[in-house]
Amino acid sequence: MTQAVNIKEQLQQLRAQINEYNYQYYVLDDPSVPDAEYDRLMRELLAIENDHPELVEHDSPSQKVGGEALRAFTQVEHQVPMLSLDNAFDDEELKAFDKRIQDRLNQQVSLDYSCEPKLDGLAVSILYEQGQLVQAATRGDGRVGENITNNVKTIANVPLSLRGNDFPARLEVRGEVFMPKQGFEQLNLSQKEAGKKVFANPRNAAAGSLRQLDPKISASRPLLFYAYSMGLVEGEITAMANSHSQRLMQLSEWGLPICKEASTAKGIDECHAYFAKIGEARSQLSYEIDGVVFKIDSIDLQNQLGFVSRAPRWAIAQKFPAQEQMTQLLDVEFQV
Ligand code: NAD
pLDDT in tens, 4-22: 679 999 999 999 999 999 9
Atom number of ligand 1 nearest to Cα 37: 41
Q: Which residue minimizes the CA distance to atom 22 of ligand 1?
A: 118
* Least confident range of 73-82, 232-241, 316-325: 316-325
pLDDT at 326: 46
C-alpha 84 – ligand 1 centre gap (Å): 7
Q: What is the largest CA-CA distance in the chain?
A: 67
Q: Does any ligand 1 atom lie closer than 6 A to the CB of residue 324?
A: no
Name the CATH topology of 2-63: Helix Hairpins (1.10.287)
pLDDT at 67: 85
Atom number of ligand 1 nearest to Cα 117: 18
Strand pairing class (315-319; 86-88): parallel
Total-model pTM: 0.94
Distance of alpha carbon 282 from alpha carbon 93, whole angstroms: 21
pLDDT digits (tens, 9 = 90+) for 112-136: 999 999 999 999 999 999 999 999 9
SS3 category, 94? helix
pLDDT at 335 over 50: no
Domain ranges of the chain: 2-63, 75-335
Q: Which of 225, 265, 195 is nearest to 133 (CA)?
A: 225
pLDDT at 3: 67
Count of C-beta atoms within a 10 Å radius of residue 111: 20
Q: Does any ligand 1 atom lie closer than 6 A to the CB of residue 62?
A: no
What is the torsion angle, in degrees rounded to the nearest 10, for the CA atoms of residue 118, residue 119, residue 120 and residue 126?
-120
pLDDT at 286 over 70: yes
Whether residue 177 contacts residue 183, with contact meaning beta carbons closer than 8 Å, is answered with no
Q: What is the DSSP string of 225-251?
A: EEEEEEEEEES--S---SBHHHHHHHH
C-alpha 276 – ligand 1 centre gap (Å): 20
Q: What is the mean pLDDT of residues 250-256?
A: 98
Q: What is the DSSP string of 104-118?
A: HHT--SPPEEEEEEE
What is the torsion angle, in degrees rounded to the nearest 10, for the CA atoms of residue 120, residue 257, residue 150 and residue 179?
30
Phi, psi dihedral angles at 128 (to 5 degrees): -110, 130
Q: Which residue minimizes the CA distance to atom 23 of ligand 1?
A: 84
Q: What is the mean pLDDT of residues 49-53?
A: 92
pLDDT band at 245; cut points 50, 70, 90 = very high
b or e along 151-183 (b: 16 or more beta carbons within 10 Å of the residue's beta carbon)?
bbebbeebbeebeeeebbeebbbbbbbbbbeeb
Q: Which residues contact 279 (CB under 8 A, 6 or more apart)?
A: 320
- Asked if the interface predicted TM-score (ipTM) of this complex is over 0.90, the answer is yes
Q: Which residues are annotated as a binding site for NAD(+)?
A: 35-39, 84-85, 116, 139, 176, 295, 319
Are both 2-63 and 75-335 of the same fold? Answer: no
Catalytic positions = 118
pLDDT band at 159; cut points 50, 70, 90 = very high
Domain 75-335 sits in CATH 1.20.1090.10: no
Residue 72 burial by CB count (10 A; 0-12/13-18/19+): exposed, middle or buried? exposed
3-state helix, strand, coil in the chain (%, to 5): 45, 25, 35
